[in-house]
Structure 1
Amino acid sequence: MKRIVVITGEAGAGKSSAIKHLEDLGFYCIENIPPDLIPEFIKLIERSSEIEKAALVIDIRNPKFRSSAPQMLRKLKNRYPLEIWYFTADKDSLLKRFKETRRPHPLQKYLPQENLEKLIEKEKEFYEGVKELSDKNIDTTNLTVHDLKRKVKELLKTGKLNLQVNFISFGFKYGVPLSADNVFDVRFLPNPHFVPELKEKTGRDREVLDYILKFEQTKKTFELIYNFVKFTLPLYEREGKSYITYAVGCTGGQHRSVAFAQLLAEKVAEEFPEYEVFVEHREQGIREKVEGQKAPTEKAFPENDR
């Protein structure tokens, strides 16, 4: 059976990179095709004995697409066996990408009085109806070009994206991570910073972990946070998220937040082996993948203490 992928979504979200990866994987690709030509293009693919898979990009650059995108895509889906991939990223990431490349936003020539931030917001509003029709939503906010290539391969092979789960430890005194989807504050827990022999260590050291885990409120807090994470992960996956970030903060980002982020990452990697799990300790400049092996959290939190 022929495979036809329609790629759409926000400017700067990675559509051009995705189409290049698909071309490398043997897809016949066309970018910015006029909507009126799409039915003829699909018929050509269906008749061709040489082309088994094709991909095309259609987006807000085309005037007709801007005027009737949801209706157009719904009609195409009803008539042809195709799948729609929607590419998105958060506003801050899109702003940064446009500033780095110095490319004009495609809406700029139609709304010259608006600044870049407003153009991005207007485009996101425009795509709400399109997003609902898509088969896959691919959020590239935290993806490198190499990550995106792997995601495209993943999607073609399995039909779904493996969720990337990130845990970040940080210090509130240095600001909350902009990439965080959920933020947990553990500054109310006993602070190893005031124990002289622990002050220069971090939450990755066993002595600090042992100290933190002496307190019942620590165990209860960990249980509450982990249950929230465990509950929300499948829901985020169902919404088509490519990645999700949970941030844990304490005052300086050295002890309590580090221990919690590490333990949460290890436990999630153990319980959800289908996900890619990373832990990042921002104030130490550490980021690493956590493999789904037997997690130390079992030792730290024995069953009768949970």
Structure 2
Amino acid sequence: MNTAETQSSDSESDDITVTPIVISEDDDIPEAENGVLYFRKPKSSGSRFERMSSSAQGPFIIVDYSSSSFRNPFVIVSPESSSSEESSSSVVSISDPESSSGIIINVWDWSLPIEEYLNPDIVYESMVDDRDGQKYHIVKIANRWWMAQNLNYNGEEVEGENWCYGNSEQHCEVTGRLYTWDAATVACPEGWRLPYPAEWSVLITYSGGSQNAGRNLKSTVGWFSGLYDKDGNGTDSLGFSALPAGWRTREGVYDELGKNAYFWKNSGDTYGSYVSMYYADRIDDSYHYKNMGFSVRCIEDLVY
């Protein structure tokens, strides 16, 4: 019988850490351990999930079986509120490797500092944003300097158009801020700017092409498993260390942490252009509403 191993943070903290576990449908899933309540697949199709206990105190892990591929992330919510803005300090993702007999729970851990997501085999340089004194690791790829971290700037020119995931300042220290497209175009420090589509194309080509660049640009930890239990982590062979920072929707909902990364491009008209990475190896290009909240990676602004 598989057992759940859980670790909860101090009661004064909003965060909770849960180690990855494997639970079979037939296992005796515990009603609650250390404040974590588990759900199991219902015997009938009448409901999306079946709660194992009505008396346990949250936060709760919601296991949603409504999707046959189990690809959606699930937010840990407390019994007092189901608001994603108040309770999205951790996210779990469910995958179904071969059949519906087993599920894997992956959990994002906010306690890891940004340095833990960088490639220890890469020698990074650094730069300081004179506007707020923040220090960023930078890396040279294809003869261009890129930030190896997501931007975390919240100055007057971008005020009200950037957010920390789950509205927690601590989260910004790890995954950076999520910016609207308009804010992203002016958010980078002096000497740096939002990359143009051609510069993203050079980076992607140098990293193995659109079908392989995701694997080479993603961090080696932090990415959830995807369809058929495919490992979402990358090799980070070039030191870009892309994080699955998720997004903020136009309605203010935070989602996709641990699953997807979205980076704005310096291109847009009615919609803003962006690149995305997820558990697969490839990188995709698309466009979205400009008031979505996406990550920003700055590139050095060359003077010709």
TM-score with structure 1 setting the length = 0.28
Instruction: Select the structure that is richer in helix.
Output: 1
TM-score with structure 2 setting the length = 0.28
Instruction: Select the structure that is richer in strand.
Output: 2
Name which one, 1 or 2, has greater alpha-carbon Rg. Answer: 1
